[in-house]
Amino acid sequence: MSETLAIDIQDLKLAFNGRDCIDIPSLQIHNGEVVLLFGENGSGKTTLMKLLSGLLEPDSGKVRVLGRNLTQMSRSEKDHFRADHIGYVFQSLNLMPYLTALENILLPCGFSPRKQQIVDSAELSGEYEAYQLMARLKLEDPMRLRHKTDQLSKGLQQRVAVARALIGNPSLILADEPASAMGSYSQRLVYELLIEHARENNTTLICITHNKEANPLFERHINMKDINKNALSNPLW
């Protein structure tokens, strides 16, 4: 059973400075599911994504991701696991400003021999793959990828962050508000690319968005208040 689960959470708890943030008794997401995660500001969406990627350590409980128990891994094992198997679009983007857009997109291949191998096995260069992904996001001028990311608009930076998460076909994509700085046409392109890419590669996709227009595109909708007992106890709400 667990081999079919991309995510399996049991009794997951995390507090910040004594204030309870996450209390999720149970959550399962199957391999290949395309999931929209939504909820009020402060309901714990980003924190949950960080727990799923091993960037945050829970106080207690179990997090299994792609059949591996994150809670039993060392920090370095988690870093390698994340580099090899997860693509993450951070809410804060986390692009390297001193690198070009193209170098940013290709960065995960440098950290993961697995991603590099997948890109190489396509018998096309990583660079070609990067251009292909950006073409699907309707980048009009490919020369823009030769610019440093801090010279690009916020919307283009987000598209670069999306391509960076998809390069090397990771098995799990976590996308935290991946299109918030874009107009509605570009937002739709981003959601459609993430979903098509997930279906083409049997990738599991978990995407946070406040954009209700994206709802019909996703096959499963998870409201934080239905899974996190502390979702509504936050003062931000």
Ligand X SMILES: Nc1ncnc2c1ncn2[C@@H]1O[C@H](COP(=O)(O)OP(=O)(O)OP(=O)(O)O)[C@@H](O)[C@H]1O
- Give the residue with the Cβ less far from ligand X, 20 or 192: 20
Contacts 24+ apart (CB under 8 A), 193-197: 193/133, 193/136, 193/137, 193/162, 193/166, 194/162, 194/166, 195/34, 197/166, 197/173
Return the residue of 16, 110, 138, 150 that touches ligand X, per CB under 6 A.
16
CB of 209 to ligand X, least distance (A): 10
Q: 15 and 60 in contact (C-beta within 8 Å)?
A: no
What's the angle, vertex CA 79, arms to CA 59 and CA 22, rounded to 5? 25
CB of 71 to ligand X, least distance (A): 19
CB of 113 to ligand X, least distance (A): 31
- Give the residue with the Cβ less far from ligand X, 56 or 107: 56
The answer to the question of residue 42 lying near ligand X (CB under 6 A) is: yes
Return the residue of 5, 44, 114, 190 that touches ligand X, per CB under 6 A.
44
Element (H, E) at 180: none
Q: 58 and 71 in contact (C-beta within 8 Å)?
A: yes
CB of 124 to ligand X, least distance (A): 36
The answer to the question of residue 207 lying near ligand X (CB under 6 A) is: no
The answer to the question of residue 201 lying near ligand X (CB under 6 A) is: no
Return the residue of 7, 47, 130, 149 that touches ligand X, per CB under 6 A.
47
- Give the residue with the Cβ less far from ligand X, 17 or 74: 17
**In 3D, which of 157, 168, 34 has the Cα closest to residue 89?**
157
The answer to the question of residue 228 lying near ligand X (CB under 6 A) is: no
The answer to the question of residue 119 lying near ligand X (CB under 6 A) is: no
Torsion of the alpha carbons at 205, 210, 215 and 219, rounded to the nearest 10: 20
Q: Looking only at residues 138 through 177 of this chain, which bind ligand X when binding is defined by CB under 6 A?
A: none
Question: At what angle are helices 126-136 and 184-201 packed, to 10 degrees?
Answer: 130
Return the residue of 7, 8, 23, 46 that touches ligand X, per CB under 6 A.
46
CB of 166 to ligand X, least distance (A): 22
The answer to the question of residue 43 lying near ligand X (CB under 6 A) is: yes
Strands (E), 47-171: 60-65, 68-69, 86-89
Which strands form 68-69's sheet, in the order they lie side by side? Answer: 19-30, 5-16, 60-65, 68-69
The answer to the question of residue 92 lying near ligand X (CB under 6 A) is: no
Residue 175 bridge partners (DSSP): 89, 207
The answer to the question of residue 45 lying near ligand X (CB under 6 A) is: yes
* Interacting residues with ligand X (CB under 6 A): 16-17, 21, 39, 41-47, 234, 236
